[in-house]
């Protein structure tokens, strides 16, 4: 074992191949893994968490890519081994299977690039170290949080999955390189064999898969304040928001995200939305948006 209970032979895979269809139109030109949260691309947050465990470089960390994969490849550079999937994404299990030769007998920590985690009591990396501590090298481990409904479909031992799993080589070795997901081909069978453990994550988690969760992750990263990139130009009013690099804000922004290079014109008032370019993605259901706008279309918030 190395520091923080990390097995010396452990490698890690960050899954970054997905299309992010629920985040469209944000992901029409930017892969979900590169969408910024708190002005930091999600993929960089995942790599920083692995670095906090001592896992860095192309010998210890791999990233898969497919949808808009050229952007992922360029962004990762030589920081990790790259696995580019041709055609459609292979899914979570197929993506790991496609890296079998690179994993090469090692246990593997698998993380979703779109997972936002934050624990005020521990830095990224140490905050998930409990997933590794005391592991016997044979069971499947998942990081999780207690579910509101412990018996709901998709839960594991009453927990919701929070983005990271720990897999033994003996199970990775036999995964087929076909479109497949870890839930069906590995996690549920392990659960049925009483070989799956859930390790609770004490911090905050968002999977950022929907506009509402993506906004919530950004607002959490802002910690009740406003994060403004130094290269942004702001002449309007920003409250509890995130403003990206090169953005120009001349209007009012409340509980919203302004993407890099986006514009908020004078007289505009954004509330609970994501602004990209000149477009806007709402994050609230229509009745709630109408409540904020009021009967005459005027913002009340």
Chain length of the chain: 301
Reduced to 3 states (helix: H, G, I; strand: E, B; else coil), residue 286 is helix
Q: Tens digits of per-residue pLDDT, 212-234?
A: 999 999 999 999 999 999 999 99
In the structure encoding, which two tokens stand for residue 241, read together? Answer: 């928001």
In the structure encoding, which two tokens stand for residue 279, read together? Answer: 């477009």
Give pLDDT, residue 5. 58
Q: How far apart are CA 258 and CA 33, in angstroms?
A: 17
Give pLDDT, residue 277. 87
- Secondary structure element (H or E) that encloses residue 36, with its range: strand 36-37
What count of Cα atoms within 13 Å lies in the side-chain half-sphere of residue 154? 7
Q: Which residue's entry shows tokens 């470089």? A: 57
Give pLDDT, residue 234. 97
The residues of the chain scoring below 50 in pLDDT are: 1-4, 286-301
Give pLDDT, residue 6. 66
Give pLDDT, residue 58. 97
* Beta-bridge partner residues of 205: 117
Q: Which residue's entry shows tokens 């036999």? A: 174
Give pLDDT, residue 243. 98
Give pLDDT, residue 292. 40
Mean predicted lDDT score pLDDT of the chain? 91
Give pLDDT, residue 278. 82
Give pLDDT, residue 285. 62
């Amino acid at each position: 074992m190395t520091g923080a209970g990390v097995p010396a032979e452990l490698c890690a895979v960050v899954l970054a191949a997905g299309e992010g269809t629920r985040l469209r139109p944000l992901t029409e030109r930017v892969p979900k893994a590169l969408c910024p949260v708190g002005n930091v691309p999600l993929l960089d947050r995942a790599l920083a968490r692995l670095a906090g465990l001592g896992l860095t470089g192309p010998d210890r960390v791999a990233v898969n890519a497919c949808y808009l994969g050229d952007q992922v490849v360029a962004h990762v550079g030589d920081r990790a081994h790259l696995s580019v999937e041709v055609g459609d994404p292979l899914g979570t299990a197929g993506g790991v299977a496609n890296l079998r030769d690179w994993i090469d007998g090692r246990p593997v920590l698998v993380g979703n690039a779109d997972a936002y985690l934050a624990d005020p009591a521990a830095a990224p990396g140490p905050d998930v170290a409990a997933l590794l501590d005391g592991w016997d090298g044979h069971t499947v481990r998942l990081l999780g949080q207690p579910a509101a409904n412990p018996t709901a479909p998709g839960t594991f031992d009453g927990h919701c999955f929070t983005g990271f799993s720990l897999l033994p080589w003996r199970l990775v070795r036999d995964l087929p390189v076909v479109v497949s997901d870890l839930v069906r081909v590995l996690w549920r069978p392990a659960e049925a064999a009483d070989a799956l453990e859930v390790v609770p994550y004490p911090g905050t988690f968002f999977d950022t898969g929907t506009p509402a969760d993506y906004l919530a992750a950004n607002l959490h990263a802002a910690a009740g304040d406003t994060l403004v990139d130094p290269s942004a130009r702001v002449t309007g009013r920003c409250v509890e928001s995130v403003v990206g690099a090169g953005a120009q804000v001349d209007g009012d922004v409340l509980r919203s995200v302004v993407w890099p290079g986006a514009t908020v014109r004078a007289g505009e008032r954004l509330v609970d939305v994501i602004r990209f370019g000149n477009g806007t993605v709402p994050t609230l259901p229509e009745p709630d948006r109408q409540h904020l706008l009021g009967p005459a279309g005027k913002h009340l918030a």
